[in-house]
């Protein structure tokens, strides 16, 4: 897509508008995704891309630059009504996927949109696309009449300090008062507010052999094992022959009403 001067421009497109973009949406990070140990999170099997496309295509956005996908922003709706859902779940990402699946089965009307993933082509990172993705998802939530946009965020810089408790990490700030973590900082700049810690947001359990395949590490001792990319150590048991990764995330809540010029400009 080009503007009046022949310059290629960017546009967010939902799978409801262009269903054929599903494969294109994953074209820029296939190798990176396959290498991740996070593929062992069984709850993720409830929300594969094709199911989201079938049930909630308007909640799956792809950022196109000409005929190339350079980012995707994936979300799912769920109901936040009821005593059992008075607060966002301790089980974070996994928990909200289960809630959304339950709501779809029970035909329960959603009230809230949850960010599952924002992924950007490595060649386009550092250009402000993450903030633009949040604006695009807020617009989706607003158009569907939802109350808010929430995100169980996975702060990437935490992987450099896996032994630091998340409860301590989340409140670190720079001299300007913004969060020290770059991804949490994007959310706060976009108007997000930290709601609470999700202590077991994503859980991966696998045999020691699976962990060796996923990570290239020997997994030949008991106890805590630091894995590259993991926010906390993996707990291994030689007697049981398994290792468990219990990842904490940070729940952030956004209002869906326009709060930035970028939200109102589209």
Residue 224 lies in a domain: no
Report pLDDT digits (tens) over 190-244. 999 999 999 999 999 999 999 999 999 999 999 999 999 999 999 999 999 999 9
Residue 92 lies in a domain: yes
Structural contact between residues 204 and 235, judged by C-beta atoms closer than 8 angstroms = no
Is this structure's pTM higher than 0.75?
yes
Residue 240 lies in a domain: no
Judged by average pLDDT, the poorest of 8-17, 135-144, 254-263 is: 254-263
Residue 30 lies in a domain: yes
Domains of the chain: total: 1
- Average pLDDT of the chain is 92
Structure tokens at 37: 């140990």
Report pLDDT digits (tens) over 50-79. 999 999 999 999 999 999 999 999 999 999
Residue 53 lies in a domain: yes
Residue 264 lies in a domain: no
CATH of the domain at 62: 3.40.630.30
The span from the CA of 258 to the CA of 260, in Å, is: 6
Residue 188 lies in a domain: yes
Residues found in the chain: 266
Look at residue 4 and tell me whether its pLDDT is greater than 50. no
Look at residue 49 and tell me whether its pLDDT is greater than 70. yes
Bridge partners of residue 244, in order along the sequence: 205, 235
Q: Domain residues for 101?
A: 10-201+249-257
The span from the CA of 198 to the CA of 88, in Å, is: 8
pLDDT band, residue 261 (cuts 50/70/90): low
The pair phi, psi for residue 81, each rounded to 5°, is -105, 140
Residue 231 lies in a domain: no
Looking at residue 29, what is its pLDDT?
Answer: 83
């Amino acid at each position: 897509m080009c503007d009046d001067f022949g310059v290629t421009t960017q546009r967010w497109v939902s799978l409801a508008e262009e269903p054929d973009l599903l494969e294109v949406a994953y074209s820029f990070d296939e190798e990176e995704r396959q290498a991740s140990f996070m593929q062992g999170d069984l709850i993720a099997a409830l929300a594969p891309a094709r199911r989201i496309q079938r049930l909630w295509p308007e909640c799956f956005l792809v950022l196109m630059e000409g005929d190339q996908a350079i980012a995707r922003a994936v979300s799912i709706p769920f109901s936040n009504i009821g005593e059992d859902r008075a607060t966002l779940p301790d089980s974070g990402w996994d928990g909200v996927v289960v809630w959304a699946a339950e709501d779809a089965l029970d035909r329960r009307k959603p009230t809230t949109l949850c960010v599952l993933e924002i992924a950007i082509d490595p060649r386009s990172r550092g250009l402000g696309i993450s903030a633009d993705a949040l604006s695009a998802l807020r617009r989706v939530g607003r158009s569907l009449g939802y109350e808010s946009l929430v995100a169980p965020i996975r702060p990437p810089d935490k992987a450099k300090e896996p032994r630091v408790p998340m409860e301590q990490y989340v409140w670190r700030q720079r001299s300007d008062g913004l969060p020290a973590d770059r991804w949490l900082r994007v959310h706060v700049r976009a108007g997000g507010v930290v709601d609470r810690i999700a202590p077991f947001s994503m859980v991966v359990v696998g045999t020691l052999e699976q962990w060796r395949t996923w990570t290239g590490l020997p997994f030949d001792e008991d106890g805590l094992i630091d894995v590259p990319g993991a926010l906390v150590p993996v707990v291994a048991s030689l007697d049981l022959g398994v290792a468990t990764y219990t990842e904490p995330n940070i729940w952030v809540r956004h209002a869906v009403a326009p709060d930035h010029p970028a939200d109102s400009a589209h």
